[in-house]
Structure 1
């Protein structure tokens, strides 16, 4: 605030000193002698004000026009010079060569366009095409003589003249021995031609009043140099100039050099952008130390290249951003990521946001879903390269991890496979870096509960699909186990690292033949030697630990996007959630309650009603992974309230909870089926204490009496999630036989066939259930017909009464009808349960 007051006071003092009246001295700074005021000139008549701009226009045009000469001295046609007369090039001394081309140098200042162009073409033939035959001292002399005339021709009215002048200057800069004397003239001229003196447009403002730079893609709307070809030649000129300059010379002109590169990166011509990216890469790697505070402006100028229509420009921009990250280590790299991720301080709102809409662009998200597969492949390879090579990656890992996990769900299966093995490589580096933290886990060979002593496995859900779909194969992996000093295990069972089961020396053969990746010149060295196998094992310990460490930063924000009203957002959030659960495994217990709440909202909201196949597959895989990695008792404790009639949830939410429970049971059942070697004594494993409670809760649940078909359908889904695979172990479950017979009665109102008969014909139901179902089949069918007839009569009475009674009486009749229907159903249920209990007792004897 003090700075603003000082500026305002200074402006008032200046205004007072400019007035014609006598100024009262109120400050010591005003004691200096004042200038004599000039007499006011006569004003032009108001009707002639349109002539006031002539003088200024003439001044600007004189800068571009050659010096006027007398008509008798002007050269109208290109003269014949010594370059035309002599066939051999004089290469003796610099004086001889300068005399040889002096006439052409003089013609550069002529007013005739044809004269200037002819002389430039002659000089271009000598100094560009035949420059290799000239000695260094000759080139130095020509540089001193031609520098200023050629710099003036860079502003010539003719596009061809400007292009020839830039080519000659580039050749001289590349071949001269010393550039020190020429730099004070070259850099200002280039800055003027490329318009890089104030790219942000804030140089005229005090530093305290300057707004934040624009985050959205920015380009120069109207370049000073209108010709694209000339701007391209200027780009080559700048690249050659920066390569020839020493670090000391660059240090003296660092602002101008970075401004020139930024201006080219923001150029609307795509070839200039590509050249600017290459120039920036070499400039950053050659002058890393002095570009610490210029890394952010350089990276910000690449935003328009990251969103360019051409794929090669986007790839070149990614390489340039990597070069900028090499310069801003431990200082500005995080700020570069803030620009790429569209991060904004919530406590800092720009003023223009109060008057117009302000939007930001998330470039990392845009590249993750780029329309070109080559860009997406290189983008994920670049993320892995940053994780493996950046010195300050500890600040960047939490922001890179979710985008790298997104690559596992890429629509191109080959790219998704490559991302998996890239994460494996990151995990290998993580194990080397955190060796002390992971040492105990490797030595003691700790196995989590869901693995049943390391015998079970869960297939990796590549592309957000359970087991990666039908086309993907998986390989079992044995966890790392250290030495057993008590002698309980044989020496052959000791593993120093995670190995494939029974792989031995043929581990790579078990994974299949590596895929052949496309060969690219721009590929990072870390990706060239990467082997991408078609079969996927369980992620290694380092990969799981790396994802688990950083998933805490984004997992809760992901829950918010799960219930987003846009289908694409919900799908992407589900895929990220699926990959996070696949790597975090049992660590997801930390977020079990909010995760189940988000999944319940998904299955009870608009996203489920939309019926998107991809979203259904993804969220189904998430639920199955939860059932596979978590203890069933923990999931049952969170979801059993949905079966209670006194539950505070709505009917849709209760049905959604039952869907989640059904898919979770399917996931754990598949874990039981994956145990090798098979163990019959294990029976239902961790489901042993849960299944009886589940059957009893379903038996007493009011969802069976719900009039909606969705509730009855989801009860069937829960039942069959464990009935078929675990049927052999369910005969001893209390109440299971009664429930299996009683369920069909309440799960249908109008049926032309018997659900009991369908269950009886299932090959997975034990024999004792066969016999009970056959004996109770006739009774079940009779009661079904009774219920159907009661329902038909109730609907008929309701239809007849509605035609002649008022609304109040109609409501009372409908209520009585529903009461009669429920009473009839209850009587049928009691009779059926008695019959089933009798049949079960007879078979048990």
Structure 2
């Protein structure tokens, strides 16, 4: 066997020797053929040198020689080709560079060329001045360098200095493609010699950061990838130098750039040797990519983050053993549709949260809008991972949210509100209410006082009703405080105040019954201070919601339930009211919105009104109160008189103490003209039967047209004199109910009998009856004078000839048509003057309720029967035309009412 093995080995050596001898002969033949072309490379003629290089390429590269032959040929041609890199002719340099690349790609041992190749490339590319003027040729040289790194690998370690010189210069080359190729070469070189690369990796950081903001996105992508390799295989001390630049690239419009940053940061979190020291700086960059608009980027970031958490969990398994054995279930109100991060990811955020939040609080108010948006998105991601551990940072988080919620960018505000809702989900209400409510109660000098309310509404929205139930009273008491609900009148502030009420109604529902009064007071305040119809409508809808959670059918039921407390609430501060006081507006809202309920609480309302209408109070405020009362009295039956007080005697209970002084009178004149127009058109058909002679019947049909026009003008003048003495030490409780009922009935009967004989005899009788019934209740002096004038004009026209057709047969009937036209015009003018003198001492609690419903019924009944009897002798021709006009004028003189109340000491 040994002999046979020896024979095989000897045969192999002989064969190799034979093959080597054949390769050597082939290489020698090629070199002999190239000798003449090599000599031509030294000629002065550019064309000759160019043709020589082309011929060399045809004889070597293009012929497809074996790698062994090419290795021998390349070794002999290398110096000549490198010399051509300095040829003055660009075409010659280009051909030489391409040939070098082809040889390096094809030869089996390209590292043999490095001692000659690297110094030349360093001279051409790594100098302070650019020796190669052509951009395309510089790109070709860098491509050759990249190819050399790929095929030589570790053999380039001795040439680390040369490589760094070249890359430092080419990374900042003016030609963008040279920049990109240089970054590619950097990545390959860092991976090829990692044990040596870290020693000089720091020298590439500066040129890379100069290029990372290049205007071409592809250059930025290549620079980011090269930066990742330099940091990954470097010492790791330059992370701080590049993080700010990479963070800025996350705001790029180019998805490729953002994706490159995401991949680089994810690789650092997984493979960087000193990654534990930079977790608090790298985590925000990767978590920011979770909310990227491009699904590919966000999904890639989620995968890298999941791997990072799993790796950290695996490396710290002993510390997490207890938590891994007893995994806590997520809260009940955990955001829907959001996957809960793994334990490792959550622990990474929790352990670095104290380092992340201060920087986040600064960036959320950055002057760049994009930075603020990214920071708000990052805040949500951090709180989602921190869960209940954010309790210890609650003060900083709330102050950050207060400032961020005032941002003009809606994306910033929306993300901050989402974060605030997470606080309500993860933090106990007892904890966050201590901080939030105190901030609300403390007067704020901020230009945006609505932001604490906005945050409070969002936090309450993330909490459960069961947890909030014990704190409802405290929340409602805080919201109803004057410093909270009445301090600011801006629409945005009132809107957020309304949002807090709506959130409580939606979260706590029936539990809000215990704080129904406070919530209604807040809603009344919002309606009273609001100047925007949309906000007012929204507040009214909230009142309806408050009714629904309590099972009340209408808003009136809600006001009936709390009217007593509401009026007492207003009465407590009525002495300090002015025209600018919000309480006056609150009273107006309560009085108008409660409808008929306000009429049920007049004993409480009247003292309040009396005090507000004191002559020494603010005149403008009194005017507003009078205006409110006038609106209520326009529909008194559904407001103040909802209990049907008409017809009830007046009750006045007055208690006075000595020392009464009189002051000048106050005169109030109210004129209410009323105009009524009535048109009546009636048609009366009258049939007249005339008996001529025995056995003769004459039938005369008469057509009567009656037009009645009634015009009613009512002028009501009300003069009110109020004499109010002051400096009175008097305690008076007065309840005065005055009801005035006036019924006026007018009956006009105008019977007209017209008897027409052949001779001109006309008899007209007109009877006009007017009855006026006026009812007054006690303690009211009324003088009513009603004057009615009725003018009746009857005109009878007889025009010849009169045609009568008589047939004198037994039982002859003669028919004579007669037309009577009657116009009746009735004009009624009613003037009512009411003078009321009221003397009321000051400092007297005299709630006075005056209801003066006036009902005037003026039915006008006009009857105008017309009977015409005509006796004729035959033959008779008679034509009778009767025209009746009735004019009725009714004047009602002024009615004066004097009501005086005198005090006896």
TM-score tier by shorter-chain length is 0.5 to 0.7
Counterpart CA distance in 1 for 2:124 and 2:223 is 24
Partner of 2:507: 725
Which entry has the higher C-alpha Rg, 1 or 2?
2
Alignment of 1:286-435 (within 5 A): 286-303=192-209, 306-328=212-234, 332-335=235-238, 337-341=239-243, 362-435=244-317
Q: Does 1:748 align with 2:528?
A: yes
Partner of 2:339: 537
Counterpart CA distance in 2 for 1:146 and 1:171 is 13
Deviation for aligned residue 1:228: 2.2
| Contact 1:627/1:666 (<8 A) preserved | yes
| Contact 1:665/1:722 (<8 A) preserved | yes
Counterpart CA distance in 1 for 2:568 and 2:159 is 95
| Contact 2:149/2:188 (<8 A) preserved | no
Counterpart CA distance in 2 for 1:602 and 1:561 is 10
Counterpart CA distance in 2 for 1:749 and 1:271 is 66
Cα distance 1:563–1:320, how it changes in 2: closer, same or farther (>3 A)?
A: closer
Counterpart CA distance in 1 for 2:225 and 2:271 is 14
Q: Which moved more, 1:550-559 or 1:777-786?
A: 777-786
Deviation for aligned residue 1:144: 5.0
Partner of 1:31: none
Partner of 2:484: 703
Partner of 1:616: 413
Partner of 1:17: none
Deviation for aligned residue 1:414: 4.7
Partner of 1:685: 466
Pick the structure with more strand per residue.
Answer: 2
Cα distance 1:819–1:593, how it changes in 2: closer, same or farther (>3 A)?
A: farther
Deviation for aligned residue 1:640: 1.4
SS of the equivalent of 1:748 reads: helix
Deviation for aligned residue 1:779: 9.3
Cα distance 1:445–1:785, how it changes in 2: closer, same or farther (>3 A)?
A: closer
Partner of 2:170: 264
Deviation for aligned residue 1:311: 4.2
Which segments of 5 or more consecutive residues in structure 2 lack a partner in the other structure?
1-21, 583-614, 628-638, 640-905
Alignment of 1:130-149 (within 5 A): 130-133=63-66, 135-136=68-69, 139-140=71-72, 142-143=73-74, 145-149=76-80
| Contact 2:480/2:521 (<8 A) preserved | no
Q: Does 1:236 align with 2:169?
A: no
Counterpart CA distance in 2 for 1:193 and 1:340 is 30
Q: 1:773 aligns with which of 549, 553, 558?
A: 558
| Contact 1:703/1:712 (<8 A) preserved | no
Partner of 1:508: none
Alignment of 1:484-495 (within 5 A): none
SS of the equivalent of 1:369 reads: coil
Counterpart CA distance in 1 for 2:205 and 2:617 is 71
SS of the equivalent of 1:128 reads: coil
CA offsets per residue over residues 307-355 of structure 1, 9 Å max, x none? 3444444444444334334422xxx2231x22312xxxxxxxxxxxxxx
Counterpart CA distance in 1 for 2:570 and 2:339 is 54
Q: Does 1:125 align with 2:58?
A: yes
Counterpart CA distance in 1 for 2:522 and 2:562 is 11
Partner of 2:794: none
Q: Which moved more, 1:651-660 or 1:171-180?
A: 171-180
Cα distance 1:178–1:572, how it changes in 2: closer, same or farther (>3 A)?
A: closer
Partner of 1:649: 444
Structure possessing the higher relative contact order (Cα contacts under 8 Å, 6 or more residues apart)? 2
Number of residue-to-residue matches in the alignment: 566
Partner of 2:185: 279
Counterpart CA distance in 2 for 1:246 and 1:719 is 71
| Contact 1:90/1:96 (<8 A) preserved | no
CA offsets per residue over residues 370-426 of structure 1, 9 Å max, x none? 222233234323322322233332233222101111112212245334433432232
SS of the equivalent of 2:319 reads: helix
Counterpart CA distance in 2 for 1:558 and 1:757 is 39
CA offsets per residue over residues 212-254 of structure 1, 9 Å max, x none? xxxxxxxxxx73211122122212322343445474x534322
SS of the equivalent of 1:293 reads: coil
| Contact 2:479/2:522 (<8 A) preserved | no
Partner of 1:191: 122
Cα distance 1:820–1:654, how it changes in 2: closer, same or farther (>3 A)?
A: farther
Counterpart CA distance in 2 for 1:139 and 1:388 is 43
Q: Does 1:582 align with 2:384?
A: yes
Partner of 2:132: 225
| Contact 2:476/2:518 (<8 A) preserved | no
Q: 1:716 aligns with which of 482, 498, 516?
A: 498
Normalising to structure 1: TM-score of the pair?
0.60
Partner of 1:80: none
Cα distance 1:750–1:290, how it changes in 2: closer, same or farther (>3 A)?
A: closer
Pick the structure with more helix per residue.
Answer: 1
Deviation for aligned residue 1:113: 0.9
Deviation for aligned residue 1:625: 1.4
SS of the equivalent of 2:528 reads: coil
Counterpart CA distance in 2 for 1:643 and 1:376 is 41
Partner of 1:436: 318
Partner of 1:115: 48
Deviation for aligned residue 1:302: 3.3
Cα distance 1:757–1:286, how it changes in 2: closer, same or farther (>3 A)?
A: closer
CA offsets per residue over residues 262-307 of structure 1, 9 Å max, x none? 4333333333333333333332222211222122224444335533
Normalising to structure 2: TM-score of the pair?
0.56
Cα distance 1:118–1:758, how it changes in 2: closer, same or farther (>3 A)?
A: closer
| Contact 1:728/1:766 (<8 A) preserved | yes
CA offsets per residue over residues 87-111 of structure 1, 9 Å max, x none? xx99835444333211211111111
CA offsets per residue over residues 612-648 of structure 1, 9 Å max, x none? 321221121121111111111111111212443xx24
Q: Which moved more, 1:379-388 or 1:167-176?
A: 167-176
SS of the equivalent of 1:706 reads: coil
Q: Does 1:759 align with 2:692?
A: no
Counterpart CA distance in 2 for 1:415 and 1:259 is 35
CA offsets per residue over residues 113-168 of structure 1, 9 Å max, x none? 111111111112223222534743x742x445433332222111111000112223
Counterpart CA distance in 2 for 1:398 and 1:555 is 10
Q: 2:426 aligns with which of 623, 629, 641?
A: 629
Deviation for aligned residue 1:667: 1.4
| Contact 1:756/1:780 (<8 A) preserved | no
SS of the equivalent of 1:564 reads: coil
| Contact 1:712/1:747 (<8 A) preserved | no
Q: Does 1:660 align with 2:455?
A: yes
| Contact 2:478/2:484 (<8 A) preserved | no
